[in-house]
Amino acid sequence: MLTKILKIATPIVLILIILLIGYNSYKQVTKNTESPLNIIPTNAAVILQCNAASKLYSTLNSVNIWGHMCNISIIDSVNSQIELISKFYNHQSLIFKNNTLFISLHKVGANNSGLLFSSNFERQAISSNMDINSLLGNLVTQVQYNNQPIFEIQYKSRTLFVSYKGDIVFFSENKMLVEDAIRASVSEEKLTFNPSFNTVYSTISKSAEIHLFYNYNSVFEYTNLFTNKLINTSDFSGWAATDLSIKNQLIVANGFSAINNSATNFTDVLASQSSEKISIIDIIPKNPTRILVGFFYFLYLINYFF
């Protein structure tokens, strides 16, 4: 009788041990592997997700259109900063194995704006957060906000404010924006809980090197910082997610936008409409200067950090 019990119990115990070891290994692998999207404040107007930050410079400079754009001094300056970003990820490949960089554009306070940079790093590849700080610049001081440390770091002639959440490092030149990110990291209203954002995020291509996300309502609110005549539209549409493709003579953002079928957003009226053939030339403004200036301004802001 005892022999039969042992024959039955032994494989069951072995299976339980294997399952326990597997579960512990799974917990170890997934521990602190949280997406930077969980710390990005929900008021983001634009989010740029670079899936191959180490190759960003070579990708852009391999096409003719980017070379022509670099004839503009601001774009050429941004191109130099992108080169620094790619070199940083290449030199620190053991620490930043994920190789994905998020750049988000926000309205901060009543009259300011700021860029938030965030990325995952290998926690086991460093002894403490100070190792990351030393890569970004020289530590000036450390303060506490919401029981979370914020490190003030001098990077060349600029001051960066850096903080951490698990294996996520995020920083900005705007301290208030870092504080907003800290609050977002513990808030129940995260960006990843937003139905509109989740809907469009599920449509992105896993093979694309760059994704561009933007919220129409937040973009309008952000634009009001720079215009004399305010845009009062507050419920135009939700989030859009695009895969950014760069060809020799073309830059295309191709993707989807979320609408809610309730006629509360202006774009909802398009939900039941049939398609109609129309030439892009018929809808592009005769003077596209403002569109180009807005795009170049966003690129110029990146120049502030690298």
Task: Answer yes or no: is pLDDT of 192 > 80.
Answer: yes
For residue 218, the model assigns a pLDDT of: 83
SS3 label, residue 36: helix
Confidence of residue 305 (pLDDT cuts 50, 70, 90): very low
Lowest model confidence (mean pLDDT) among 45-59, 143-157, 283-297:
283-297
Cα–Cα distance measured from residue 184 to residue 36, given in angstroms and rounded to the nearest whole number: 11
Across the range 255-279, mean pLDDT stands at: 64
Cα–Cα distance measured from residue 213 to residue 201, given in angstroms and rounded to the nearest whole number: 8
Q: Which of the two residues, 167 and 283, has the higher pLDDT score?
A: 167
- Angle (CA) 80-85-89 rounded to 5° is 145
Structure-token match 């997700």, residue found: 49
Confidence of residue 36 (pLDDT cuts 50, 70, 90): very high
For residue 30, the model assigns a pLDDT of: 44
Task: Answer yes or no: is pLDDT of 304 > 50.
Answer: no
CA distance to 5, 17, 18, per residue, from 9 (Å): 6, 12, 14
pLDDT tens digit sequence for 99-132: 899 999 898 887 888 889 999 999 888 888 999 9
Cβ-based burial of 200 (10 A; exposed 0-12, middle 13-18, buried ≥19): buried
Confidence of residue 31 (pLDDT cuts 50, 70, 90): very low
Under 8 Å between Cβ of 212 and 253: yes
Give the DSSP H/E element, type plus range, for residue 211: strand 210-215
Task: Answer yes or no: is pLDDT of 47 > 80.
Answer: yes
Across the range 281-305, mean pLDDT stands at: 51
Residue 285: count of CB within 10 angstroms of its CB:
8
Q: Best-predicted range by mean pLDDT among 66-75, 143-152, 277-286?
A: 143-152
Task: Answer yes or no: is pLDDT of 255 > 80.
Answer: yes
Which residue type occupies 232? N
Under 8 Å between Cβ of 302 and 78: yes
Widest CA span of the chain, in angstroms? Answer: 92
Confidence of residue 266 (pLDDT cuts 50, 70, 90): low
For residue 236, the model assigns a pLDDT of: 73
For residue 180, the model assigns a pLDDT of: 94
pLDDT tens digit sequence for 155-176: 888 899 999 999 999 999 899 9
Which residue type occupies 114? G
Under 8 Å between Cβ of 139 and 150: no
Mean pLDDT for all residues in the chain: 80
Q: Which of the two residues, 63 and 290, has the higher pLDDT score?
A: 63
